[in-house]
Amino acid sequence: MKGSYIHLRLGLLLSSEKQAALIARPLAEEHSVRLERFEQAHDAMDFVREKHPQVVIADFERFGAAGIYGLADLMAEADAPVILIVRDVSEWEREQFKALGVVHVFEGTFKISELGEQVSLALKRRFRIGSSDRLPTVGV
């Protein structure tokens, strides 16, 4: 009898312990994503540099005072699709998220199944060959 193996994709979860308890297991079971959780953004940076996660799910509040700048730094290091969870967001922040290339933003409450769908889409997007959205924009 042949053994079957499941390759768990690696993700970064920047969240509280309570959020992680709700998110991590369903994503591992349904979408084969193993999430490493961090409470603070600065703690996640070393992990990103070392392990190169395939997706990042982040509670925007975890960036604290660094805000958009902390998010931009993490995104630059991770080079992975980012999905944000926010309580409420201003129009300016929405524009900044779009400019940074955040894949999806969940505002307020959401279903875990919706998060799972976005994670699957983000993982597919990451590995699309020749994807124009992964190339830098150059002005002429």
Residue 65 within any structural domain of the chain:
yes
Q: What is the mean pLDDT of residues 108-124?
A: 90
Which CATH number does the domain housing residue 21 bear? 3.40.50.2300
Residue 123 within any structural domain of the chain:
no
Structure tokens at 88: 């409420």
Residue 128 within any structural domain of the chain:
no
Between the alpha carbon of residue 102 and those of residues 2, 57, 64, 133, 134, the distances in Å are 41, 10, 18, 11, 12
For the stretch 3-62, pLDDT in tens is: 444 456 889 999 999 989 898 888 888 888 889 999 988 889 999 999 989 999 999 999
Report yes or no: 11 and 56 within 8 Å, Cβ to Cβ.
yes
How many Å apart are CA 17 and CA 99, to the nearest integer?
Answer: 29
Residue 100 within any structural domain of the chain:
yes
Secondary structure (DSSP) of 47-114:
HHHHH--SEEEEEGGGGGGGHHHHHHHHHHHH-S-EEEEES---HHHHHHHHHHT-SEEEES---HHH
Structure tokens at 101: 């290339």
For the stretch 77-91, pLDDT in tens is: 988 999 999 988 889
Residue 120 within any structural domain of the chain:
no
pLDDT at 116: 92
pTM for this model (two decimals): 0.81
Residue 3 within any structural domain of the chain:
no
In which domain, by residue range, is 22 found? 9-112
Residue 131 within any structural domain of the chain:
no
Tell me which H or E stretch contains 14.
Answer: strand 9-14
3-state secondary structure of 2: coil
Residue 15 within any structural domain of the chain:
yes
As for how many domains the chain has, the answer is 1
